[in-house]
């Protein structure tokens, strides 16, 4: 894209070739929150993956908040992967080169999710494939490799259509599709994956809805190279509009979240049927993440967009910390899985708790939860462990940020 073409497209040419610090800080904010969620998984009493911290009948307000706030992470990461793809186009990367990069990096991320990251979650062989946000980003990049050949507004329309419309597919059940059940699990339903009758993995992030979020990010990418004042105002107003639509849909429960669609549990999970205001608020906000419903995307990205203008105010140590983590998010992600898992083993061993459940962790969570009896720590100690993890990761991330700033090796864009 030439400078004249960029100008005619409404892009602030002077800002295209420099990093947008607010994007790095937003990435840093959500990856710090993601680390909190994963520390809770490993450190909280009884094993964080073993219960539902959003159940109003069993949770506390602090545990609920600790879990719910981390819902902001995955949609923001996937959305920003689409924005980043558009920014590369805006900087002048030719469509064939951009498409090839997205395709190969997507394959690379999928490979790492199935190997390095799945092992990091489990610490054992054979391990279950744990297909989460990196898996979703990888497949979203592969989809974008095809979509970038279309006009930006067409990609935006496809993203909105998928986000708004995929809940119409909820009545289709993978179990009813015979030989196509695995494909539907991959695309829309998610859940345990069986091959030859044997469980081989857990597909937490079915790819179709997340492709919609990435396409939405690519389609809105031009907003992020507009002059700062105009960009901040537009993004904030879009966020407020999304939150308003969420409130309307959630209040009426007419569409956009399958929890309330059908089935005998619908009334029990109806926020209007709760006996206390506390429970009603908790159920009102408990929207489906796996797969992400329309309401989930509206409330999470709505909050992120609404607070976007505040990021420009972050300066000093906090801004620097978030900027560093956000500049090297994948590096942080890989390291923190191994660090959190290892620290959980060390901390439990140090106080005399059994640690056998932490080896083959995922298999034990779902098939031998008794191994986590007497394991873990209270929520305040989870927060202490979270701060320790961030402190230990910061020097390495600062170093890697410097490496990426100084060097332009092609392979650095894959890490």
Q: How confident is the model at residue 198 (pLDDT cuts 50, 70, 90)?
A: confident
Of the listed ranges 224-238, 253-267, 322-336, 371-385, the one predicted with least confidence: 253-267
Q: What is the mean pLDDT of residues 172-194?
A: 89
Look at residue 104 and tell me whether its pLDDT is greater than 70: yes
Q: What is the mean pLDDT of residues 24-40?
A: 96
Q: What percent of the chain has pLDDT over 90?
A: 73
The confidence score (pLDDT) of residue 137 equals 97
| Model pTM score | 0.92
The confidence score (pLDDT) of residue 270 equals 82
- Residues 238-253: pLDDT tens digits? 999 999 999 999 999 8
Look at residue 175 and tell me whether its pLDDT is greater than 70: yes
Look at residue 377 and tell me whether its pLDDT is greater than 60: yes
Look at residue 287 and tell me whether its pLDDT is greater than 80: yes
Q: What percent of the chain has pLDDT over 70?
A: 92
Mean pLDDT of the chain: 90
The confidence score (pLDDT) of residue 32 equals 97
Of the listed ranges 65-74, 156-165, 327-336, 406-415, the one predicted with least confidence: 406-415
The confidence score (pLDDT) of residue 9 equals 35
The confidence score (pLDDT) of residue 263 equals 40
The confidence score (pLDDT) of residue 64 equals 95
Look at residue 8 and tell me whether its pLDDT is greater than 80: no
Of the listed ranges 73-77, 288-292, 342-346, the one predicted with least confidence: 288-292
One-letter-per-residue 3-state SS of the chain: CCHHHHHHCCCCHHHHCCCCHHHHHHHHHHHHHHHHHHHHHHHECCCHHHCCCCCCCCCCHHHHHHHHHHHHHHHHHHHHHHHHHHHHHHCCCCHHHHHHHHHHHHHHHHHHHHHHHHHHHHCCCCCCEEECHHHHHHHHHHHHHHHCCCCHHHHHHHHHHHHHHHHHHCCCCHHHCHHHHHHHHHHHHCEEEEECCEEEEEECCCHHHHHHHHHHHHHCHHHHHCCHHHHHHHHHHHHHHHHHHHHHHHHHCCCCCHHHCCCCCCCCCCHHHCCCHHHHHHHHHCCCCCCCCHHHHHHHHHHHHHHHHHHHHCCHHHHHHHHHHHHCHHHHHHHHHHHHHHHHHHHHHHCCCCCHHHCCHHHHHHHCHHHHCCCCECHHHHHHHHHHHHHHHHHHHHHHHHHHHHCCCHHHHHC
């Amino acid at each position: 894209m030439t400078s004249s073409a960029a100008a005619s497209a409404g892009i602030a040419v002077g800002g295209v070739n420099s990093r947008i610090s607010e994007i790095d800080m937003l990435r840093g904010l959500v990856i710090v929150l993601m680390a909190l969620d994963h520390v809770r998984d490993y450190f909280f009493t009884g094993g964080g993956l073993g219960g539902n911290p959003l159940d109003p009948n069993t949770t506390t307000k602090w545990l609920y908040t600790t879990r719910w706030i981390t819902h902001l992470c995955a949609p923001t990461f996937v959305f920003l992967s689409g924005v980043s793809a558009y920014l590369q186009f805006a900087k002048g990367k030719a469509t064939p080169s951009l498409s090839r990069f997205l395709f190969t990096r997507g394959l690379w991320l999928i490979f790492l999710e199935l190997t390095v990251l799945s092992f990091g979650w489990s610490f054992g062989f054979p391990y279950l494939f744990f297909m989460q946000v990196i898996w979703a980003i990888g497949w979203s990049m592969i989809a974008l490799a095809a979509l970038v050949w279309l006009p930006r507004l067409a990609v935006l329309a496809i993203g909105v259509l998928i986000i708004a419309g995929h809940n119409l597919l909820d009545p289709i059940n993978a179990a009813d599709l015979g030989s196509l059940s695995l494909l539907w699990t991959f695309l829309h339903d998610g859940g345990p994956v069986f091959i030859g009758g044997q469980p081989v993995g857990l597909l937490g992030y079915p790819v179709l809805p997340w492709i919609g979020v990435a396409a939405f990010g690519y389609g809105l990418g031009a907003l992020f190279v507009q002059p700062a004042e105009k960009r901040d105002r537009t993004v904030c107003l879009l966020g407020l509009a999304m939150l308003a639509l969420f409130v309307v849909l959630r209040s009426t429960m007419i569409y956009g979240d399958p929890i309330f669609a059908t089935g005998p549990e619908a009334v029990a999970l109806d926020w209007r049927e709760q006996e206390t205001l506390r429970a009603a608020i908790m159920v009102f906000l408990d929207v489906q993440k796996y797969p992400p419903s329309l309401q989930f995307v509206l409330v999470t990205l709505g909050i992120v967009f609404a607070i976007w203008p505040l990021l420009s105010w972050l300066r000093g140590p906090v801004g620097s910390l978030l900027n560093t983590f956000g500049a090297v998010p994948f590096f942080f992600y890989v390291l923190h899985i191994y660090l959190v898992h290892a620290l959980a083993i060390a901390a439990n061993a140090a106080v005399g708790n059994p640690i056998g459940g932490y080896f083959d962790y995922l298999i034990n969570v779902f098939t031998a939860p008794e191994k986590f009896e007497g394991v873990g720590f209270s929520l305040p100690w989870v927060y202490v462990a979270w701060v320790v993890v961030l402190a230990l990761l910061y020097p390495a991330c600062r170093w890697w940020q410097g490496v990426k700033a100084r060097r332009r090796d092609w392979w650095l864009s894959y890490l």
